[in-house]
């Protein structure tokens, strides 16, 4: 059995869920995948040299790979031509997100990896506004199916041409202003003393260890990735996000519950969708076709593989 390592950065759990789905799907292709979450301290990361391939998953932040994840990848030891596969989650499917992996790809190449694939998966926003239940359910189920597609492509080992449009690359550089913004806004984040219960959950989950409890209340510093984890997961919705507080989203998406709830429709975006989410239709139409094609290929291959298994002992 081959071995894969999945390095993932996640603020509010979406990309972690995608990583877990991919790990699960890879096992169906005889690839044993371990998931490792990038958080401080970084020196506990498994050495990629002990694996047959490596995966890198991150949430798109302001059209970019989060700076913290790039810094983490730079700390990895060099490898000799190890295949690398990228997946990234984002709230929208627009072209502005399309070059978000460009710097990551460059760093990976310098380290000796061979970037083979870069796929975008839609998951609900953890900032600006909350997606409704039906859309959250559709995104979750779709990401689960796309994990199968990604695993299938990884097992096939075919290299995707990774090209990024110059205008989208330029946009990524312009929006890196967000990195400075996160540093400035970090200490402006605070807990509302009227609602904070001092449970320390925010401090325990912050992937950058940017929060410490002082006098029973969390105190935030500059080393913030704007991952939104603290505000999203606070049980009392007590985190105030400084300059970004108007974009605060609080409370986990209950994906597993939604998936099991027949009262919530499994699709929100379809050919009849109007308004803003109409713009999501091309992404879903294209990827649902891809999912169907991969499932057909696998169904065709299954009897042949079963036949080989029954013939083998003779």
Ligand X SMILES: Cc1cc2nc3c(=O)[nH]c(=O)nc-3n(C[C@H](O)[C@H](O)[C@H](O)COP(=O)(O)O)c2cc1C
Q: Is residue 208 involved in binding ligand SF4 (CB under 6 A)?
A: yes
DSSP character string of 173-231: HHTTHHHHHHHHHGGG-EE-TTT-----HHHHH-TT--EEEETTEEEE-S------HHH
- Is 234 an interacting residue with respect to ligand SF4 (CB under 6 A)? yes
In whole angstroms, the minimum distance from the beta carbon of 225 to ligand SF4 comes to: 4
**Which residue's CB is nearer to ligand SF4, number 19 or number 230?**
230
Question: Residue 103: which of 150, 136, 62, 148 has the closest Cα?
Answer: 62
Q: Which residues partner with 87 through β-bridges?
A: 57, 119
Shortest approach of ligand SF4 to residue 230 CB, angstroms?
A: 3
Pairing of strands 211-214, 217-220: antiparallel
Residue 107 or 143: the one with the smaller Cβ distance to ligand X is 143
Q: Give the x-and-dash track for 213-232 against ligand SF4 (CB under 6 A).
A: -----x-x---xxxxxxx--
Q: Can residue 211 be called a binding residue for ligand SF4 (CB under 6 A)?
A: yes
Residues 296 and 291: their CA atoms lie apart, in Å, by: 9
For ligand SF4, the closer CB: 112 or 198: 198
In the bound complex, what is the minimum distance in angstroms from residue 219's beta carbon to ligand SF4? 10
Rounded CA-CA distance 236/222 in Å is 23
Q: Which does 13 bind (CB under 5 to 8 A by kind): ligand SF4, ligand X, none?
A: ligand X
Choose from ligand X, ligand SF4, none: what does 123 bind? Cβ within 5-8 Å by kind. ligand X
**CA 204, chain centre distance (Å):** 20
Residue 116 DSSP SS3: strand
Residue 97 touches which of ligand X, ligand SF4, none (Cβ within 5-8 Å per kind)? ligand X
* Contact call for residue 11 and ligand SF4 (CB under 6 A): yes
Buried-exposed string 26-51: b where 16+ CB fall within 10 A, e elsewhere: beebebebebeebbeeeeebeebeeb
- Which residue, 206, 208, 199, is CA-closest to 238? 199
Burial class of residue 193 (count of CB atoms within 10 Å of its CB; 0-12, 13-18, 19+):
exposed
User: Taking the complex as a whole, how short is the minimal distance between the CB of residue 299 and ligand X, in angstroms?
Assistant: 30
61 binds, among ligand X, ligand SF4, none (CB under 5 to 8 A by kind): ligand X
> Quick one: what does residue 197 bind among ligand SF4, ligand X, none, with the CB cut-off 5 to 8 Å set by partner type?
ligand SF4
Residues in binding contact with ligand SF4, number by CB under 6 A: 27
**Rule CB under 6 A: which residues touch ligand X?**
10-16, 59-63, 89-92, 97, 123, 125-127, 226-228
Shortest distance, position 58 Cβ to ligand SF4, whole Å: 14
CA–CA separation, 217 and 4 (whole Å): 40
In eight-state DSSP terms, residue 236 is: T
User: Measured from the CB atom, is 63 or 113 closer to ligand X?
Assistant: 63
- Distance from chain centroid for Cα 212: 26
Residues in a beta bridge with 57:
8, 87
Q: Which does 127 bind (CB under 5 to 8 A by kind): ligand X, ligand SF4, none?
A: ligand X
Residues lying near ligand SF4 in the complex (CB under 6 A) are found at 11, 189, 191, 196-202, 206, 208, 210-211, 218, 220, 224-230, 234, 236, 238-239
């Amino acid at each position: 059995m081959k071995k894969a390592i999945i390095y993932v950065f996640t603020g509010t759990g979406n990309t972690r869920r995608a990583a877990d789905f991919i790990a699960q799907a890879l096992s169906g292709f005889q690839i044993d995948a371990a998931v490792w979450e990038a958080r401080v301290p970084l020196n506990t990361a498994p050495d990629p040299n002990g694996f047959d391939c490596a995966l890198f998953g991150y949430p798109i932040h302001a059209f970019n790979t989060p700076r913290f994840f790039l810094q983490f990848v730079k700390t990895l030891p060099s490898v000799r031509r190890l295949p690398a596969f990228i997946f990234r989650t984002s709230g929208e499917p627009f072209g502005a997100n399309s070059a978000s992996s460009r710097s990551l790809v460059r760093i990976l190449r310098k380290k000796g990896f061979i970037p083979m694939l870069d796929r975008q998966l839609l998951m609900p926003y953890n900032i600006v506004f909350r997606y409704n239940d039906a859309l959250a359910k559709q995104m979750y189920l779709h990401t689960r199916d796309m994990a199968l597609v990604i695993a299938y492509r990884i097992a096939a080992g075919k290299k995707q041409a990774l090209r990024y449009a110059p205008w989208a690359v330029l946009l990524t550089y312009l929006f890196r202003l967000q990195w400075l913004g996160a540093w400035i806004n970090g200490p402006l984040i605070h807990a509302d003393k009227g609602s904070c219960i001092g449970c320390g959950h925010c401090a325990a989950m912050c992937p950058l260890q940017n929060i410490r409890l002082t006098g029973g209340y969390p105190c935030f510093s500059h080393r913030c990735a704007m991952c939104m984890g603290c505000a999203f997961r606070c049980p009392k919705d007590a985190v105030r996000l400084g300059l970004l507080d108007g974009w605060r989203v609080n409370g986990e998406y209950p994906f597993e519950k939604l998936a099991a709830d027949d009262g919530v429709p499994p699709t929100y975006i379809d050919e009849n969708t109007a308004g803003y989410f109409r713009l999501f239709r091309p992404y879903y139409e294209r990827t649902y076709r891809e999912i169907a094609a991969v499932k057909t290929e696998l169904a065709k291959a299954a009897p042949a593989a079963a036949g080989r298994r029954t013939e083998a002992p003779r």
